[in-house]
Chains A and B, each alone.
Chain A
């Protein structure tokens, strides 16, 4: 848990120091990939609470989901289908679901 937070902090510092910027045309793809990553992390947290955590599933989910989401949005852009909003909705829903389950877990534990 502590290690994860430390990793997050290091990543934040690196990201704010890194001079890298993403061109405007790709910022949509990047934000979808970011949302997919967030979803994976919350999913992993939830599965850890359920004692079902699998490292391989977590790792592959994080990277494959992010890349796949970005690729789908890119393809949708090319085909004239706005898959961007679909990805936002799908990942957003899942994040809220996972958060709700995590919240319930802690509420149950306090009783």
Chain B
């Protein structure tokens, strides 16, 4: 039937090359399937869920540990401890004050104009908080993050990082203090609110009688600072 007159070896060689290419292509296709981006996405989302669970568990642990009260007895020491916790932001506080809600501008930026002017930046928020502090705010939180002595407010891409926790607009600032003073400090003519509203940034101030400012949830540990031996002047 089939008769190869000559060149049997050359046919075998060609078939060998073909087989080589086939195997190579097969392996490449397998590799590509194994590295498809959606598998990466799946893996990452699974890890995210896991980490979130871990975080929730740890937060619960922190809450339960913070509820452990020192043994009563030394009333003076106890009172001092309470005072310190109050001042350092380790306890949730409640009282009269204002709730300020800030959101990005709804105005469409005109062509050629800098879009950055219409979104909230860290300095906008810092101005508001500075004004609140100047007006005598005693406790402030941004999107549920209590501001403490070491808190930062910083742009982190399109989001804002407070206490190293990122959040996206709208930002809700809660401040405890004399609500009338706080409100008028923000609404001052030529003040923060007016400046920001030029760019269409939505700023809403609401006075309330029972504002709850949450406690600081993160870890507090000094790894560099130590107590100085003698009081430096």
Contact = CB atoms under 8 A, between A and B. Distances in A.
Interface in B162-181: none
B158 interface: no
B interface: dominant SS? helix
Contacts of B22: 11-12, 15, 34
Interface in B1-19: 1-19
Interface size class of B (residues with CB under 8 A): 20 to 34
B86 interface: no
A65 to B, nearest CB: 12
Contacts of B16: 7-8, 10-11, 14
Interface stretch (A16-24, A73-81, A87-95): A16-24
B24 interface: yes
B23 A14 contact: yes
B92 interface: no
B31 interface: yes
Given A8-B16, A8-B18, A8-B19, A55 B25 contact: no
A interface: dominant SS? helix
Contacts of A20: 24
A84 interface: no
Nearest to A56: B7
B18 A11 contact: yes
A99 interface: no
Given A5-B15, A6-B12, A14-B20, A21 B27 contact: yes
A38 B149 CA distance: 73
B31 A21 contact: yes
Given A11-B20, A14-B20, A41-B18, A34 B25 contact: yes
A1 interface: yes
B2 A49 contact: yes
Contacts of B26: 15-16
B208 to A, nearest CB: 59
Contact of B21 (A3, A4, A5, A34): A34
B25 A7 contact: no
B121 to A, nearest CB: 40
Instruction: Pick the 7 closest A-B CB pairs, nearest first.
Output: A11-B19, A15-B23, A7-B12, A55-B7, A7-B15, A11-B16, A7-B16
Interface of A: 1, 3-16, 18, 20-22, 24, 27, 30-31, 33-34, 37-38, 40-41, 44, 48-49, 51, 53, 55, 58-59, 62, 109
Interface of B: 1-28, 31-32
